[in-house]
Amino acid sequence: MELALFDLDNTLLAGDSDYEWAQFLIERGVLDRATYETRNDEFFRQYQAGTLDIHAFLDFQLAPLARHPRAVLEAWHAEFMDAKVRPMIGDRARRLVERHLAAGALCAIVTATNSFVTAPIAREFGVEHLIATEPEARGGRFTGKVAGMPCFREGKVARLEQWLEAMGRALSSFAASTFYSDSHNDLPLLERVTRPVAVDPDAALRRVAAARAWEIISLR
């Protein structure tokens, strides 16, 4: 059996769901534009530069979830899917996932973005398994904190290994393993699979992929 892993933001999506969720809340007036837009942009630049403090970012990104009931958040998310997410999903991305599913591969989306934002997106792609940063919840409400290890950089490798171990598997037990990503932040996991694929890569990942003769594709 093949293992097929997909990064989400700027890989399967032609955009960043983390960033767009914050922008969506700003546009709805849920978040103050002057305060949040500047910080959202700054965190996005840090991510692109490889300097992101993931815990500082999660404190920022998860805080709004704690201020509203789950039912309200889910209603907003349904609007978010129509307004922001589905326009970022291209036919090539859908066909790529469908090919792996049809071939019988074990497929998972592996993303640093929290599971509240990304679980409905994984379902949109028909992918059952999601490995994501988990927001802490108590009594049916989010606390604004992260639960466990963030699924970011080396954390993606650790979270993947935990997920496989829970199924009695290991990365080495698969005849082939593929990981699709756009970002140099995902090099720790790209270096662990048998087939790393750079998808519309950032400049840093493009240089690494070219130097190592990794496959480079576009889903745009």
Q: Active-site residue numbers?
A: 7, 9
Pair 155, 149: CB distance under 8 Å: yes
Alpha-carbon radius of gyration of the chain: 17
Amino acid found at 132: A
Strands 195-199 and 106-114: unpaired
Helix (H, G, I), strand (E, B) or coil at 124: helix
Task: Name the nearest CA neighbour of 84 among 166, 144, 126, 21.
Answer: 21
